[in-house]
């Protein structure tokens, strides 16, 4: 089942690539690439058909077929079909080649869309001799490079050749407990069901199968982590306490709890793999600082990985400030430094000599040429989740450092536990005291003047404002033009009393940094920006966030943007300018007005968009389930997780005969030849 699809005859390099783009690399993948819908191909009586229904009707061709050509290379094939007592006008578009098969007197069946008023059908498929072979036909999601029909043929071929080696993955006792089909029948009935009922039964098993495979991998990672001799980071408690009490604020209760959870993990000789979840502004960065400081007091180095240069710079700056009086050396390594050979060389040398305690940077800093003397902790900010291979690479750096992954993506907790199952989860569910809730309002575009007056009153009070320009399309050029227009308009409006700055994605990172720095230092009162401001930039004096054409943004993005204000002690405002045309757009605006709770928003986002969109997106690092829906089928997901954990964490896991298939599967997909104990 783990054979490459190219083992099937007829799959060359081109098809292989096209399949890979659909996530199909092995026979297992192909056989689990299920139809996304099914067509009812059972022959129907004309009298049963509703207007617009797609169905198969059968009859005798009553008139000679006529082909009409039109446009450039377009054609239409017409004939009349006598179906029972009804004469139906049939039209096929672009399939003139069917003409020979529909000569008067031929027995045919046509699958198509029925039009009651005209007593006609637009044909989609033609069958000779008694209609379709299958009453239910699966339809596969295809791509430009590979057609649904081709996928269907490949699935058929793969099933024919491999049906005898389909092995059970879900152990028998679990299958019995949840009344699941055996795997061969499940795969068969998903692709080639004879009745609707058949695929509905198979579907239950297939959803469980998909979740179980995923949860089993996570459970295995967890087991490996558990058995892995991790680092014992014997931090200096009194130094840590001194550091915490020197912070300019007191930690919230949630922060204290999380610090304890992390410290407890680090102090154990086990490998830490912990996810730190907290809404924007909940104070994750300082937690990272505390954890890294703990590692440093134990004689280790730490690394902080950020998704963008601007964020890495901000973190580096913040950490340098925090550690100023604590003798911790912080260094920044991003593409900018790495491009200067001498600078890079110098950094790497100091790192290897342990003259650098904390290295902050982008992804590059855990890559090849970067060698730490004694790396104890890796903190990742925003959605870096180490995949299996990266985890292996980290481990093989000889250190197996502890990992703390921070995310502001507020996934509902239950969902986080099941989908980030190999990690332990810590949640900061409380904002620092004294934060005034951000007041959000939704205005129409024609209320722009009133909005700008409002902004002006805030500026008069010495506050600053962000104005996010419309995101028209994925094109940076167009976004830039919009940002520039907004910038000019505002400059005109506020000159000479207030200064306006412009920040956009086309700028070089040092330019961006310069503008951000100037804004932070109050050289600008207003910052017009494309969404680059979204990432965790911290300017506590900014109290207004105006988002133009807000309905073009997703809920998660709006929430992130809004999180840029409300970071100081002054009351803050978020103004959404939008005239949404759809209910979905209106509902999004309404949600933003009603709540500032990231968890509520993400729940709403899930409901409105579906988990495929919200969780499947690569950036969240969550898997793309194909048929299981982690929200709608949450109970199944949970059951699959509990079963997978119980089975794999069991100490006799390897010795139970019924687990043989599962073990072989895990060996193949997780770690070639790994020992489980």
The residues binding Mg ion (CB under 5 A) are: 285, 536
Taking CB under 6 A as the binding criterion, the range among 5-13, 275-283, 395-403, 640-648 that sits at the site for ligand ADP is 275-283
Tell whether residue 249 is a contact of ligand ADP (CB under 6 A): yes
Ranges within 373-412 binding ligand ADP (CB under 6 A): 408
* Nearest distance in Å: CB 541, Mg ion: 18
* Nearest distance in Å: CB 616, ligand ADP: 24
* Nearest distance in Å: CB 536, Mg ion: 4
Query: In the set 58, 174, 277, 285, which binds ligand ADP (CB under 6 A)?
Result: 285
* Nearest distance in Å: CB 141, ligand ADP: 37
Residues with Cβ within 8 Å of 68's Cβ and at least 6 positions away in sequence, in order, are 75, 76, 78
Q: Are strands 273-278 and 424-428 parallel, antiparallel or unpaired?
A: parallel
Q: In what order do the strands lie in the sheet with 301-305?
A: 330-333, 358-361, 301-305, 375-381, 402-407, 273-278, 424-428
If the CB atoms of residues 35 and 536 are measured against Mg ion, the closer one turns out to be 536
Tell whether residue 284 is a contact of ligand ADP (CB under 6 A): yes
Query: In the set 146, 187, 231, 280, which binds ligand ADP (CB under 6 A)?
Result: 280
If the CB atoms of residues 173 and 253 are measured against ligand ADP, the closer one turns out to be 253
* Nearest distance in Å: CB 428, Mg ion: 11
If the CB atoms of residues 123 and 432 are measured against ligand ADP, the closer one turns out to be 432
Alpha-carbon torsion 210, 215, 220, 221, what sign?
A: positive
Give burial (CB, 10 Å; 0-12/13-18/19+) of 593.
Answer: middle
Match 């098809």 to its residue by tokens: 15
Phi, psi of 428 (to 5 degrees): -95, 105
Taking CB under 6 A as the binding criterion, the range among 31-39, 108-116, 284-292, 656-664 that sits at the site for ligand ADP is 284-292
Tell whether residue 536 is a contact of ligand ADP (CB under 6 A): yes
Query: In the set 26, 43, 277, 282, which binds ligand ADP (CB under 6 A)?
Result: 282
Taking CB under 6 A as the binding criterion, the range among 273-281, 439-447, 485-493, 519-527 that sits at the site for ligand ADP is 273-281
Tell me which of ligand ADP, Mg ion, none is bound by residue 626, counting a contact when its beta carbon lies within the kind-specific cut-off of 5 to 8 angstroms: none
Residue 452 parent element (H or E): helix 448-460
Tell whether residue 255 is a contact of ligand ADP (CB under 6 A): yes
Number of residues near ligand ADP (by CB under 6 A): 18
Query: 353 by DSSP, 3-state: which?
Result: coil
Contact between 284 and 275 under an 8 Å Cβ cutoff? The reply is: no
Tell me which of Mg ion, ligand ADP, none is bound by residue 538, counting a contact when its beta carbon lies within the kind-specific cut-off of 5 to 8 angstroms: ligand ADP
Residue 635 parent element (H or E): helix 634-649
* Nearest distance in Å: CB 516, ligand ADP: 14
Query: In the set 59, 283, 421, 580, which binds ligand ADP (CB under 6 A)?
Result: 283
Ranges within 411-470 binding ligand ADP (CB under 6 A): 432
**Helices vs strands, H then E, count in the chain:** 23, 21
* Nearest distance in Å: CB 377, ligand ADP: 17
* Nearest distance in Å: CB 252, ligand ADP: 5
Tell me which of Mg ion, ligand ADP, none is bound by residue 255, counting a contact when its beta carbon lies within the kind-specific cut-off of 5 to 8 angstroms: ligand ADP
Tell whether residue 251 is a contact of ligand ADP (CB under 6 A): yes
If the CB atoms of residues 236 and 538 are measured against ligand ADP, the closer one turns out to be 538
* Nearest distance in Å: CB 629, ligand ADP: 30
- The CB-based long-range contact list for 655-658 (8 Å cut-off, 24+ gap) reads 656/171, 658/168, 658/171, 658/172, 658/173
Match 């104070």 to its residue by tokens: 283
Tell whether residue 566 is a contact of ligand ADP (CB under 6 A): no
* Nearest distance in Å: CB 267, Mg ion: 25
* Separation CA 123–CA 114 (nearest Å): 9
If the CB atoms of residues 205 and 308 are measured against ligand ADP, the closer one turns out to be 308
* Separation CA 623–CA 629 (nearest Å): 11
Q: Are strands 464-468 and 526-529 parallel, antiparallel or unpaired?
A: parallel
The token duo for 349 is: 């040398």
Contact between 421 and 218 under an 8 Å Cβ cutoff? The reply is: yes
Residues with Cβ within 8 Å of 466's Cβ and at least 6 positions away in sequence, in order, are 526, 527, 529, 533, 542, 544, 545, 546, 561, 564, 565
Question: Would you give the distance in Å from CA 94 to the centre of its chain?
Answer: 39
Contact between 567 and 281 under an 8 Å Cβ cutoff? The reply is: yes
Give burial (CB, 10 Å; 0-12/13-18/19+) of 575.
Answer: buried
CA angle 507, 381, 617 (to 5 degrees): 80
Taking CB under 6 A as the binding criterion, the range among 65-73, 250-258, 290-298, 572-580 that sits at the site for ligand ADP is 250-258
Tell whether residue 538 is a contact of ligand ADP (CB under 6 A): yes
CA angle 397, 402, 404 (to 5 degrees): 125
Residue with nearest beta carbon to Mg ion: 536
Tell me which of ligand ADP, Mg ion, none is bound by residue 138, counting a contact when its beta carbon lies within the kind-specific cut-off of 5 to 8 angstroms: none
Query: In the set 26, 120, 132, 252, which binds ligand ADP (CB under 6 A)?
Result: 252
If the CB atoms of residues 277 and 529 are measured against ligand ADP, the closer one turns out to be 277
Tell me which of ligand ADP, Mg ion, none is bound by residue 362, counting a contact when its beta carbon lies within the kind-specific cut-off of 5 to 8 angstroms: none
Phi, psi of 12 (to 5 degrees): -95, -175
* Nearest distance in Å: CB 386, Mg ion: 19
Instruction: Name the residues that contact ligand ADP, by CB under 6 A.
Output: 249, 251-252, 255, 278, 280-286, 408, 432, 536, 538, 540, 567
């Amino acid at each position: 089942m783990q054979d490459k699809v190219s083992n099937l005859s007829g799959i060359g390099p081109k098809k292989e690539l096209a399949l890979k783009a659909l996530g199909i690399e092995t026979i297992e993948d192909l056989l689990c690439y299920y139809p996304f819908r099914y067509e009812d191909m059972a022959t129907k009586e004309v009298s049963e058909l509703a207007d617009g229904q797609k169905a198969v009707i059968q009859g005798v061709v009553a008139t000679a077929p006529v082909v009409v050509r039109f446009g450039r290379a377009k054609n239409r094939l017409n004939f009349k079909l006598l179906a029972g007592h009804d004469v139906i006008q049939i039209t096929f578009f672009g399939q003139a080649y069917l003409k020979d098969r529909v000569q008067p007197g031929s027995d045919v069946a046509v699958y198509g869309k029925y039009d009651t008023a005209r007593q006609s059908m637009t044909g989609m498929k033609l069958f000779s001799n008694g209609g379709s072979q299958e009453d239910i036909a699966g339809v596969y999601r295809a791509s430009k490079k590979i057609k649904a029909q081709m996928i269907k043929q490949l699935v058929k071929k793969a099933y024919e050749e491999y049906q005898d080696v389909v092995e059970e993955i879900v152990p028998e006792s679990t299958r019995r407990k949840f009344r699941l089909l055996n795997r061969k029948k499940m795969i068969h009935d998903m692709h080639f069901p004879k009745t609707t009922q058949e695929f509905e039964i198979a579907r239950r098993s297939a959803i469980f199968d998909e979740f179980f495979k995923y949860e089993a991998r996570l459970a295995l990672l967890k087991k490996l982590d558990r058995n892995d001799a991790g680092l014992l980071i014997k931090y200096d408690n009194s130094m840590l306490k001194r550091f915490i009490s020197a912070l300019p604020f007191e930690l919230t209760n949630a922060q204290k709890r999380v610090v304890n959870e992390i410290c407890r993990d680090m102090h154990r000789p086990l490998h830490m793999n912990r996810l730190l979840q907290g809404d924007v502004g909940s104070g994750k960065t300082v937690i990272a600082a505390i954890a890294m400081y703990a590692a440093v007091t134990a004689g280790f180095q730490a690394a902080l990985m950020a998704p963008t240069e601007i964020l890495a710079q901000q973190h580096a700056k913040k950490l340098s400030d925090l550690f100023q009086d604590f003798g911790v050396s912080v260094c920044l390594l991003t593409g900018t430094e790495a491009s200067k050979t001498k600078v890079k060389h110098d950094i790497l040398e100091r790192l290897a000599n342990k003259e650098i305690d904390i290295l902050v940077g982008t992804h590059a800093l855990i890559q090849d040429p970067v060698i730490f003397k004694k790396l104890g902790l890796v903190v990742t900010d925003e959605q870096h989740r180490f995949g299996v291979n990266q985890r292996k690479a980290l481990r093989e750096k000889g250190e197996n450092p502890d990992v703390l992954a921070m995310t502001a993506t507020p996934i509902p907790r239950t969902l986080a536990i099941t989908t980030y199952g190999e990690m332990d989860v810590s949640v900061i569910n409380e904002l620092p005291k004294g934060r005034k809730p951000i007041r959000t309002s939704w205005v129409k575009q024609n209320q722009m003047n009133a909005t700008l007056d409002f902004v002006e009153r805030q500026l008069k009070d010495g506050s600053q404002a962000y104005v996010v320009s419309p995101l028209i399309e994925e094109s940076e050029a167009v976004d830039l033009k919009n940002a520039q227009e907004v910038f000019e308009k505002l400059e005109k409006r506020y000159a000479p009393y207030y200064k306006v700055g412009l920040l956009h994605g086309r700028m070089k990172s040092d330019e961006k940094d310069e503008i951000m720095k100037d804004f932070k230092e109050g050289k600008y009162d207003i910052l017009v920006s494309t969404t680059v401001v979204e990432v965790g930039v911290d300017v506590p004096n900014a109290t207004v966030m105006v988002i133009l054409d807000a309905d073009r943004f997703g809920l998660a993005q709006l929430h992130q943007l809004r999180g840029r204000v409300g970071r100081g002690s002054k009351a803050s405002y978020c103004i959404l300018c939008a005239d949404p045309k759809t209910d979905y757009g209106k509902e999004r605006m309404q949600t933003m007005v009603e709540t500032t709770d990231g968890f509520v928003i993400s729940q709403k986002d899930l409901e409105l968009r579906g988990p495929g969109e919200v969780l499947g997106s690569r950036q969240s690092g969550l898997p793309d389930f194909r048929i299981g829906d982690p929200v709608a089928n949450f109970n199944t997901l949970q059951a699959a997780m509990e079963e997978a954990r119980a089975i794999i964490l069991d100490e006799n896991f390897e010795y139970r005969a019924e687990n043989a298939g599962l073990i072989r599967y895990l060996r193949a997909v997780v770690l070639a030849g790994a020992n489980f104990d």
